[in-house]
Every structure is written in structure tokens, then in C-alpha cells.
């Protein structure tokens, strides 16, 4: 099997090819590393590529596969991991100068699970600094570019994770999603991704941004790949008390799923003012695909959307200001060597170690938690959170699934909104509510705008209903071929 054929395969296809001895983990890893070497200067998806160690790991994994010790569907398949997920012995930087040389002494739960399943780690993926951003332009390690057009951003904060899959520099990846950081780059890069129910995947070893919102999830070339990865990484972890035991996603059920009779709700607020006309048209076409297959589609009111952005950013920034207080230049991270006193060390280490966007969110967080403003902002945001949860619970008493756009626009041009953070924040209007409610959601490719840039369809389900998302997403991908399109193809 030649290199090009290998790197274009889906993760499950490659896993089956390795299992049936059509290829080996060693060949697949070598092919992927060659592809990364060829494309990385153009796209900058990776912060670090573990070439030598990946090849050694592939040899070890292949030996276990040959001996019958590893039999899972993704055994031997290489993976790239977002650089805010700890990997023992390998740099974990969070895209920041503050952690640019940090090597964690332990691994995240998700990497432990993947390693046990026979995954081969090829590298750590670029991201917005501390997962704070929507473009992957705030990384200390440079900008990641969108494989569909390198003048455009790949989205963020998991931009490197989505762009790598899109460019065939990864078979699948892990990202993290605090307010849309898996779904939005998937939409921009024409790949599939799942943000799981809060607690389905352990956050142990994920460098925290906003602990009540963060969730690790998979990004792949289609929904079945994402489901297979999610089955490996999900489950109860005693080191994360918010994690829960959960059902395995049945891939055979997803493959055989019939859309007929599926009740789908469309929030009117998702399809109204602020949504780009090309995106709106593409989303309605996708909805019609479901309708034509027998789904029952109905619009409904979800007025709480109006408060999505302020509620999300108040909660996220408040938690970020607390979580990032640990980076003080003493125990780990960047150390300002010319500091003379302890306050001076804090000031200089954080001033020099953190980027502008991180500082902005820390300051916003400190403000909403400060005396005199706590009740006016943070307490109210928590009250709105309970209203959001109730609003979605009511919606899911009527509908099996909620559909809508992932983002108001397709990918932005590089540098387009960096000087106007509010515009970037408004891009989370359709995704942030899902994290506030702790719901599962996915982004799947559903078409292209007039410039040929990808559009993603967001699928939202009730708590722990990932099976429904995978069923409906996989059915859509059987009826369409948007997810098979690659950058550079002419439509």
C-alpha cells in the first residue's frame, strides 16, 4: 500500500488494514511522518513532532498486534494530541511562552487510555494559547493556517488538531472544547468532531482553562472515527470526580440508523440575524437532507441564546483567572531571572510569559469576581446557567436532536479580527451555550460557501445521548459526500 493511499485512509479503515495485515503500524506511522514533513512548513499544525519515538512505539505496538495482545479497532493507528493534554516525557506547552519548555511528569487519562489501546503518538498539536482564542493565532509557536486556503485561519482553539486531520497530517486527533474549540475548527476545516457530555471524558491531565466547561473530545475524518475514539477515552476516572461511567457508542447501530421519524428542532435564534447568508443557505440545505430522508423538522424559540456570549465569557474568564494563578514562575513554567523580590517575580514572569489574549481574560475574570462586581456579573451568570439547562431540557422533551450552524461565518482571514476581540467572542454564540449546559454536540461537514470554504452543521443532543449524535451524523455522511472532499479539489 503506497504512502498516499495510507494517509488518506480513515482511522477505522487503517485499523482494519493493520489488523488484516494489509499494512503495519510501522508503515502507517512512517507514511504519516513523511506527510507531516512535506506539509508542516505550509500549515504549522504541530508544536512538536516525535519522529524517532513514534517509530519505536509503532514497532512495539505492531509486535503486540502480531502477538494478539492488541485487538481494538484503532490499534496501531497514529494520533496527534492537542498541546494542552499532558503526555509524560513529552513537551506540553499550551501554546504559551509560559510553558514552552514544560515536560509533564505524568500523562492525561485520555493518553493513558489511547496508549493502552495501541495508539502511536506522532506529535503535539498547535493551539491558541491556553485554549483562549478562536483562530489559533495567539499561539507562541506561530499561526496555524487553514489547509483549504492558507490566507485563512483554521479556527480555534483546537486549530492544529482540526487542520492536521484536514491536511492528512493526522488520521485522528484529540482536541479540547470549552465554548466551541473542537466544533468551530472542525467547521472551518471540513472535518468531524464531537464535544462530549460534560464528565463523559476525564479532564485529568488537561491543563485547565475553565474547569466547569472544559471537555476533551475527538476529531476525525468522519463520525464513526470520532465515535471509535470516544469509546476508548471515555469512562469513569477516580482522579476526576466530575467524570462518570457512560455507555459505549454502538457503531453498528450508527451504520444502520434510519432517519425516518427523527424529531429535529431548529432554534429560530440560530438562523436569524448575524448569520452569514451563505452559511444559512448551506445549513438549511443540510436540514432539508434530513427532512427528505423522513425526519420531522420544526422551528422553535430559544430566547436564552441572546445571553450566550456574555454568560459564557463571564464564567470562562472567572474560572480562567483562578486556574491560571498557579503559573507564578516558581514551581514550573517561565521564570523571570532578573526579578529581585517575590512580587517582582510574579509580575515579570506573568507579564513576559502570558500573551495578550490570556492577560485580557485573566483581567476580565478578576473583574467579575472582584468585590462589588461579583453579584452583578458572576452570580448572575450562574443564575443564567441554570436557566440555560432548563431551556434545553424543555427542548429535548420534544426533540431527539437540535440542529443549527456551528459559527456565524466560515473561516476568517488571518489577522482579520485580532484587533477586535469582541467580534471574535461573538463567534461563540451558537456553541458556548452547549458547554454551559454540559450537553454533547458535534460538527460535521455540510457544504461550502461562495468562496469554497467549508461550513459545519452542529448536532446537539440531550445529556449522554452521544449515540443519537453519531447515528444522525453518520446517516448524514452516508447520504452526502461533503466530508470526503479535500483541500484543492474543484467542486
pLDDT tens-digit map of 258-269: 999 999 999 999
pLDDT of residue 420: 77
Can you tell me which residue has the cell 422553535? 300
**Cis amide prior to 119 (ω within 30 degrees):** no
pLDDT, mean of residues 45-53: 98
Catalytic option among 96, 161, 176, 181: 181
CA 393 and chain centroid, separation = 24
- Asked if 130 and 320 count as a contact pair (C-beta separation under 8 A), the reply is yes
Q: Count CA atoms within 13 Å of residue 410 on its CB side.
A: 25
What is the distance between the alpha carbons of residues 425 and 312, in angstroms, rounded to a whole number? 10
Catalytic option among 25, 107, 157, 192: 157
Catalytic option among 82, 113, 124, 200: 82
Can you tell me which residue has the cell 475548527? 185
- Asked if 458 and 430 count as a contact pair (C-beta separation under 8 A), the reply is yes
What is the distance between the alpha carbons of residues 52 and 103, in angstroms, rounded to a whole number? 17
What is the side-by-side order of every strand in the sheet holding 441-448?
46-49, 120-125, 78-82, 172-177, 215-220, 192-195, 441-448, 454-460, 401-405, 263-267, 296-300
Does residue 490 register a pLDDT over 70? no
pLDDT of residue 385: 97
Q: Reply yes or no on whether 181 is catalytic.
A: yes
pLDDT digits (tens, 9 = 90+) for 191-234: 999 999 999 999 999 999 999 999 999 999 999 999 999 999 99
pLDDT digits (tens, 9 = 90+) for 134-173: 999 999 999 999 999 999 999 999 999 999 999 999 999 9
- Asked if 407 and 446 count as a contact pair (C-beta separation under 8 A), the reply is no
| Confidence band, pLDDT 50/70/90 cuts, at residue 491 | very low
Can you tell me which residue has the cell 461562495? 450
Q: Reply yes or no on whether 321 is catalytic.
A: no
What is the distance between the alpha carbons of residues 250 and 490, in angstroms, rounded to a whole number? 35
30: cell is 512512517
Which CA distances in Å does 438 have to 268, 285, 426?
21, 28, 20
Tell me how far apart the terminal alpha carbons of the chain are, to the nearest angstrom. 28
| Confidence band, pLDDT 50/70/90 cuts, at residue 314 | very high
What is the distance between the alpha carbons of residues 346 and 5, in angstroms, rounded to a whole number? 52
Q: What are the backbone angles phi and psi of residue 4, rounded to the nearest 5°?
A: -65, -45
66: cell is 502480531
pLDDT of residue 4: 57
pLDDT digits (tens, 9 = 90+) for 7-46: 999 999 999 999 999 999 999 999 999 999 999 999 999 9
Does residue 113 register a pLDDT over 60? yes
User: Model-level pTM?
Assistant: 0.97
Domains of the chain: 3-257 (3.90.1300.10)
In our burial notation (b when 16+ CB lie closer than 10 A, e otherwise), range 186-201 reads bbbbbbbbbbbbbbbb
Amino acid at each position: 500500500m503506497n504512502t498516499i493511499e495510507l494517509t488518506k485512509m480513515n482511522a477505522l479503515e487503517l485499523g482494519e488494514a493493520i489488523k488484516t495485515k494489509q499494512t503495519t503500524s510501522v508503515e502507517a506511522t512512517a507514511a504519516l511522518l513523511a506527510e507531516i514533513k512535506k506539509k508542516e512548513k505550509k500549515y504549522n499544525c504541530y508544536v512538536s513532532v516525535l519522529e524517532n519515538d513514534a517509530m519505536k512505539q509503532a514497532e512495539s505496538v505492531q509486535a503486540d498486534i502480531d502477538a494478539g495482545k492488541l485487538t481494538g479497532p484503532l490499534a496501531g493507528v497514529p494520533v496527534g494530541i492537542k498541546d494542552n493534554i499532558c503526555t509524560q516525557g513529552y513537551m506540553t506547552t499550551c501554546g504559551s511562552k509560559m510553558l514552552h519548555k514544560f515536560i509533564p511528569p505524568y500523562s492525561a487519562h485520555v493518553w493513558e487510555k489511547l496508549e493502552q489501546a495501541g495508539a502511536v503518538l506522532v506529535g503535539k498539536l498547535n493551539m491558541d494559547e491556553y485554549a483562549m482564542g478562536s483562530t489559533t493565532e495567539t499561539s507562541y509557536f506561530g499561526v496555524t493556517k487553514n489547509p483549504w486556503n492558507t490566507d485563512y485561519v483554521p479556527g480555534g482553539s483546537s486549530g492544529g488538531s482540526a487542520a492536521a486531520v484536514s491536511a492528512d497530517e493526522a488520521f485522528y486527533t484529540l482536541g479540547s472544547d470549552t465554548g466551541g474549540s473542537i466544533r468551530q475548527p472542525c467547521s472551518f476545516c471540513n472535518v468531524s468532531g464531537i464535544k462530549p457530555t460534560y464528565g463523559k471524558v476525564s479532564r485529568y491531565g488537561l491543563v485547565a482553562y475553565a474547569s466547569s466547561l472544559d471537555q476533551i473530545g475527538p476529531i476525525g475524518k468522519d463520525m464513526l472515527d470520532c465515535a471509535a475514539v470516544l469509546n476508548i477515552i471515555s469512562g469513569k476516572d477516580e482522579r476526576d470526580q466530575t467524570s462518570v461511567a457512560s455507555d459505549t457508542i454502538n457503531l453498528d447501530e450508527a451504520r444502520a440508523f434510519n432517519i425516518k421519524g427523527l424529531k429535529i428542532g431548529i432554534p429560530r435564534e440560530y438562523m436569524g440575524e448575524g448569520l452569514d447568508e451563505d452559511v444559512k443557505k448551506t445549513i438549511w440545505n443540510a436540514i432539508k437532507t434530513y427532512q427528505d430522508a423522513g425526519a420531522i423538522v420544526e422551528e422553535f424559540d430559544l430566547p436564552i441564546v441572546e445571553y450566550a456570549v456574555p454568560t459564557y465569557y463571564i464564567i470562562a474568564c472567572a474560572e480562567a483567572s483562578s486556574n491560571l494563578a498557579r503559573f507564578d514562575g516558581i514551581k514550573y513554567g517561565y521564570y523571570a531571572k532578573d526579578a529581585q523580590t517575590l512580587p517582582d517575580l510574579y509580575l515579570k514572569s506573568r507579564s513576559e510569559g502570558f500573551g495578550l489574549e490570556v492577560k485580557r481574560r485573566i483581567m476580565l475574570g478578576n473583574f467579575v469576581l472582584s468585590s462589588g462586581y461579583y453579584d452583578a456579573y458572576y452570580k448572575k451568570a450562574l443564575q443564567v446557567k441554570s436557566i440555560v439547562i432548563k431551556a434545553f431540557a424543555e427542548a429535548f422533551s420534544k426533540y431527539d436532536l437540535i440542529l443549527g450552524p456551528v459559527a456565524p461565518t466560515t473561516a476568517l482571514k488571518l489577522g482579520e479580527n485580532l484587533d477586535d476581540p469582541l467580534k471574535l467572542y461573538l463567534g461563540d454564540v451558537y456553541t458556548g451555550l452547549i458547554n454551559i449546559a454540559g450537553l454533547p454536540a458535534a460538527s460535521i461537514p455540510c457544504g461550502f460557501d461562495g468562496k469554497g470554504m467549508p461550513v459545519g452543521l452542529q448536532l446537539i443532543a440531550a445529556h449522554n445521548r452521544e449515540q443519537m449524535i453519531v447515528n444522525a451524523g453518520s446517516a448524514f455522511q452516508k447520504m452526502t459526500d461533503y466530508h470526503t472532499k479535500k483541500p484543492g479539489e474543484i467542486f
